[in-house]
Chain A
Amino acid sequence: MSDTFDHSQLPQDDALAAEFVLGLLSQADRQAAERRIAREPAFAGLVAHWEAQLVPFADDIAPVQPPHDVWLRISTALRPEKVQASRWASLAFWRGFAIGASGLALASLVALFVVPNAPSQKPLVATITGGNTTLVATIDPRTNNIVVVPAALNIPADKVPELWLIPADGKPRSLGILRRDQAVTLVLPPGLATQATAAAVLAVSVEPPGGSPTGLPTGPVIGQGKLTNL
């Protein structure tokens, strides 16, 4: 390789990181750089830095509307993994029952649609209430899906509701961000599956967009409810 250019300028790894980001590397050099990104946090940091610095170049690339069938292809490719939750997550389905129904009535409606295949794998349900807040959450232990349906949930427009599991040890674990106007399906992390029992409590707190930055509730807790076996 020619050595006529000046190496004394950018440190070698910094130059390599920039060249990777610009796309200047040949296939072999690119793959070598990718292996270093995966293994060396310092090099990965240089790459991330150049990505952030150079991304404004993309401002000058005109957006082009992709054909509609690209989204159809994407959503079809997702379907097999996520299909179980569709009926639970249908807001229209729930809204008819949720308005004015008590938590207990809802729980018995839930029971109509759940066919447990083993006694030890019964779904859990919690009615999360407090002030003006009412939500119903069900956990299906067979799939670890958590479906949360908001019946009444009023929080400021610049905040998001976050769902927490509080097991017997009293320490809240985040389960994810909820929607104020729509049912959501969350997945119970595998490490928490044994903690989600009839002794645990679900709670909802008000958090900044993106959720609590600390891993613990930072805003007011607007509702809570105990999990019970159906």
Chain B
Amino acid sequence: MESDARQLLVSALVRTAAGERTGLQTTYRLTSAKLFGVCLRILGERAEAEDVLQEVYLTVWRKAADFDPARASPMTWLITIARNRAIDRVRSKAQRKLDPIEAATEVADATPSAQASLEDAQSSAKLHGCLGGLAEREQTALRGAYFDGATYEEMAERMTMPLGTMKSLIRRALMKLKTCLEQ
């Protein structure tokens, strides 16, 4: 079952695909705060995040016809575009300074966000349930990587462990997660 907000977003994307500016405007109104939060988290700097946010919605304008409501949730599609744009931007720069891992994942205790109406509550409960089955360090590593789009090298440095150990830990965590999610 889909919430009204999600249905509104799907129809806004369909209208965007038809070349309607008001479709893009509605999409922006419903989602820009979330996507700006996602970009800001990866880029760490407001001016950069604003630039990338602009690129994200121009990408949505051009590619809205690629969005298939039967195959992906609209928020997944939009968040994926925002993360990819932000990660590409961050990789194109020489270096960035990431917070220590404790600070990076402290929002983990926050209650599920009020934007949940746009997202799929069922898959959210499932991921969070499966994460609960991982060791704490494994959860921290996956969460830290996702939030910041951090590379293996950056993660190894933040969690002060050798690169090989870091890779091994994350791959094991992914395997456990996949097994749990597919049950």
Contacts and interface: CB of A to CB of B under 8 A. Distances in A.
A5 interface: yes
B33 A65 contact: yes
Given A59-B112, A71-B28, A52 B40 contact: no
A40 to B, nearest CB: 17
B24 A2 contact: no
A203 interface: no
Sorted from nearest, which 3 A-B pairs have the closest CB atoms? A23-B149, A5-B168, A2-B164
Given A2-B164, A23-B146, A160-B11, A53 B28 contact: no
B18 A187 contact: yes
B5 interface: no
Contact of A209 (B7, B92, B123, B163): B7
Interface of B: 7, 10-11, 14-15, 18-22, 24-25, 28, 32-34, 36-38, 40-42, 49-50, 53-54, 57-58, 61, 69-73, 75-76, 79-80, 83, 87-88, 91-92, 107-108, 110, 112-113, 115-116, 119-120, 123-124, 126-128, 142-143, 145-153, 155, 162-165, 167-168, 170-172, 174-175, 177-178, 181
A56 B37 contact: no
A186 interface: yes
Interface in A146-191: 158, 160, 176-177, 179, 182, 184-187
A24 B14 contact: no
A67 B46 CA distance: 10
5 contacts: A19-B170, A56-B123, A57-B143, A71-B28, A74-B58
Nearest to B31: A63
A26 B168 contact: no
Contacts of A179: 15
Contacts of A185: 19-20
Contact of A51 (B40, B80, B162, B177): B80
A65 B152 CA distance: 30
Contacts of A66: 32-33, 36, 49-50, 53
A58 interface: yes
Find the residue from A3, A10, A59 having the highest chain B CB count within 10 A: A59
B33 A63 contact: yes
A38 to B, nearest CB: 13
Contacts of B58: 74, 77-78
Contacts of A26: 91, 151-153
Given A66-B53, A77-B54, A23 B171 contact: no
B178 A10 contact: yes
Contacts of B21: 75, 78, 82
Contact of B168 (A6, A56, A63, A65): A6
Contacts of B153: 26
Contacts of A70: 32, 36, 50, 53-54
